[in-house]
Amino acid sequence: MSKSYLVLSALMAAITCVHVFLGGPQYADAFTVTLENADLRAMSLVLWHAVTVALILFALAYLWLAFRRSPELVAITSLLQLGWAGLFLFYGVTQLGELVTQPQWVLFIGFPCAALFSEWLRDRRNPAKP
């Protein structure tokens, strides 16, 4: 069992709760009020809830990785999160002119780095036998 992946799973679950309970009123509720076009309103809510689903799946993936090795799952979750980090960085710079308002990029760089560290710890504790 990997304690570091258990910690990552718990942290991602906590971030999911922050997304739902703090971000929901700030963003998702605002979408329904400020977007007059029903199609844009629906699409923004679909995307908001798709992020919620993805965050839940990330937490479950880290829980899975706590008990089973899966380099493919580490790669997929890491690449997805790094892609999200890139989006936050790109739109932070191009739309907001700064990176402070939406600092989620820090999390989506930090989690893949922590996952790679967890893999290193796992390999160090359980070296491959020749």
**pLDDT tens for residues 36-82?**
999 999 999 999 999 999 999 999 999 999 999 999 999 999 999 99
The answer to whether 8 and 115 have CB atoms below 8 angstroms apart is: yes
Residues 99-126 have a mean pLDDT of 94
Evaluate if residue 23 carries a pLDDT over 80: yes
Residue type, 13: A
* CA 54 – CA 9 distance, rounded (Å): 13
Domain residue ranges in the chain:
3-125
- What was the pLDDT predicted at 128? 63
Residue 70 phi, psi dihedral angles, 5° rounding: -160, 90
Binning pLDDT at 50, 70 and 90, where does residue 129 land?
Answer: low
Residue 110 phi, psi dihedral angles, 5° rounding: -65, -40
- What was the pLDDT predicted at 52? 97
Q: What is the mean pLDDT of the chain?
A: 94
